[in-house]
Amino acid sequence: MIKMNFLGIHMDCLSYEEMFPFFDRWLKDKSAPSHCLSVINVHICVSTLLNKKLRDMYNTSDIIGIDSMPFVRWARAFYRKETDRFYAPDLLLQVSARAKEKKYTYFLYGGFPGAPEKIKQYLDQRFEGITIAGMYSPPFRQITPEEDDEICRKINSVHPDFIWVGLGSPKQDVWIHEHLQKIRGSIFIPSGATFDFFSGRIRQAPLFIRNIGFEWLFRLTQDPIRLWLRYTGYNLVFILAFFLQLIHVITFDSEGFLMFLGRRIRLGNVVYD
C-alpha cells in the first residue's frame, strides 16, 4: 500500500474496493488474533503530536485509513492514488452492503444506553438479512477487570466478524488495541459518532457538506461549547505543524520521534530523549 506521512502518522492511500480483500483474508481464520482499522483526521494528528505512545499505537493498526477530505485530496493530487475517505459511518454502510453476500456478522459496542439497539433497528430496515450477533453499551465509568473479562467472553461466544466500537477518540482506539489479543478472529473498526448519527441522537451533516470537507464546521454549529477547541484550536495547530513539516523544520526520525531542526525536543509532559 502507498503510505503518506502527516505529522508522523503513516496513512494508507486505499480505496474501499482494495479494503475488502484484506477483510476476506483476515476472516478466514476465526481462531487468529483480531485485526483493526484506524481512521485518522486532524484531531487525531494533533493529539498524537505530543504523545509518541499514542502515535505508535495508531501506526501499528492493520489499516490506517484517511478520515479527512483534505487528506484524501492530498493523496489523490500528490500520490496519484484513487483514495477513499475512511469515514466511520460510510465504512459501516459499505460493509453492510456486502453483509448478506459475505455472511458478515456484527457486534455493536459503545454508545449511550439504547444506542446499539437503535442502530440494529436502522440496519435491519436498510439491509435485508444483516446479522447483529450481539450488542453492549458500557457504563460511563471505568469498568472492572471482571466486567471486562465477561464482555470478552460474551463477544468471543458469538464470534463476530466485525466489532464496531463507539467510545469516542482516542478512547475507542485504546480499547481496541487493548483487546486485539483478547478477542479472536474479528475486525475492530472505531465508529465514533456513527453511534450518535445512526441512533438519531445527533444530526449528520448533509452529503454535499461532507464532500467539500466542511463537516467539522457543521458539527461545530451543532455543539459549539464541546467542540470549539477541537475544531478551531486543533485545526490551527495542525496547519502550523504541517507547514513546518513540509519545509523540514519538523521531521520524524526512523523511530517516530519528533525532531525540531535535527534535535529531539521536550513538549508538554512528553520527553523525547
For residue 189, the SS3 value is: strand
> pLDDT value at position 270?
42
> pLDDT value at position 23?
97
> pLDDT value at position 273?
35
Residue 204 phi, psi dihedral angles, 5° rounding: -85, 145
- Parse the chain into domains and list their residue ranges: 2-232
Residue 22 CB neighbour total at 10 angstroms: 16
> pLDDT value at position 254?
56
- Residue corresponding to grid cell 502507498: 2
Element (H, E) at 125: helix 115-126
Laid out side by side, the sheet with 131-136 consists of: 63-66, 35-40, 187-190, 162-166, 105-110, 131-136
User: All 3 cell numbers of residue 59?
Assistant: 501506526
Over its length of 273 residues, how does the chain's per-residue pLDDT go in tens digits?
799 999 999 999 999 999 999 999 999 998 899 999 999 999 999 999 878 889 999 999 999 999 999 999 999 998 888 899 999 999 999 999 999 999 999 999 998 888 999 999 999 999 988 999 999 998 888 889 999 999 999 999 999 999 999 998 899 999 999 999 999 999 999 998 898 888 888 888 888 888 888 888 888 887 777 777 777 888 899 999 889 888 888 787 656 666 666 566 555 444 333
> pLDDT value at position 265?
57
